[in-house]
Structure 1
């Protein structure tokens, strides 16, 4: 007679993966042992034999002799139904945390449009500026430079005739005065290339409304 060791596993997938989801694996069934089977198993263990839970099938009724290779599905179902089954439940919880996506540039997004140029207009200002309040300088066309003040004001300074604003692209030197001011028609500025010029007029640059 053939011994068949049945093992039936039922796997359940519960709770779809959400921000906090769970996955459970349950209902693992294994054949149990009755009192007679346990006694027989104990006897085999003493004889040095391993125990494998099995069911015996009648070869003559199946029509296949000792091999049992032609046993019908009905006979197998009846054999399985006669067993004593125990249930083991195994659970595993998987917690997934979803965090907000950090905002960042999209590599597939089109480039942003260039900013519109700011249109400036001139208005009158003082004829002297504190030297310590000047943060930087840059050329502003031919014969003009722009003084960038620490308070974020922009001052356009006109240079004397035959002076170019490009000569002062790296800054300028100024002889210190007692009042610490840079004044129109009084002070001379010197470029690093050796050019010397006086300032003839100052105007503040402000955005147009």
Structure 2
């Protein structure tokens, strides 16, 4: 007899509610994208948000933000109600290896991570 264990981690969205009517450029313009890491520790992810069509913003416990850029053809709006991740042995979510699974069934690979820096508003 073989016993297997499967763990799935659910990541909630920062703002609960219905699907966004449309993703606005204003939301995307609030952040500058810089080069990010290859992997993000799953234990540090606290919530997620959608600000661009092809990415999901991850909000970490230390208030840093990273944008998971999704593979071509994936629409981030599918992840409006949160997503699931199957953790690897290293406990990290990595680009080029892992994928996000929407609660509705959509699955998208992560192409890259971008570090997000808040843009200073113009007065």
Per the normalisation by structure 1, the TM-score is 0.42
Q: Tell me the number of residue pairs that the alignment of Structure 1 and Structure 2 aligns.
A: 93
Matches within 5 A, 1:13-92: none
Asked whether the equivalents of residues 137 and 169 of structure 1 are also in contact (C-alpha less than 8 Å), the reply is no
Q: Mind listing any 5+ residue stretches in structure 1 that lack a counterpart?
A: 1-116
Deviation at 1:135, TM superposition (A): 0.5
Q: Does 1:196 align with 2:107?
A: yes
Per the normalisation by structure 2, the TM-score is 0.69
Q: Which of the two has greater strand per residue?
A: 2
Partner of 2:83: 172
Partner of 1:161: 72
Q: Which of the two has greater helix per residue?
A: 1
CA distance in 1, matches of 2:48, 2:91: 17
Give the 3-state SS of the residue equivalent to 2:109 in structure 1: strand
CA distance in 1, matches of 2:43, 2:113: 17
CA distance in 2, matches of 1:178, 1:194: 24
Partner of 1:80: none
Q: 1:158 to 1:178 in 2, by over 3 A?
A: same
User: Greater CA deviation, 118-127 or 149-158?
Assistant: 118-127
Q: Does 1:128 align with 2:39?
A: yes
Asked which structure has the greater RCO (Cα within 8 Å, sep 6+), the reply is 2
CA distance in 2, matches of 1:183, 1:141: 20
Give the 3-state SS of the residue equivalent to 1:129 in structure 2: strand
Q: Which has the higher Rg, Structure 1 or Structure 2?
A: 1
CA distance in 2, matches of 1:197, 1:158: 10
Deviation at 1:120, TM superposition (A): 2.5
Partner of 1:140: 51
Q: Does 1:187 align with 2:119?
A: no
Give the 3-state SS of the residue equivalent to 1:140 in structure 2: strand
Q: Mind listing any 5+ residue stretches in structure 2 that lack a counterpart?
A: 1-26
Give the 3-state SS of the residue equivalent to 2:77 in structure 1: helix
CA distance in 2, matches of 1:121, 1:188: 24
RMSD: 1.7
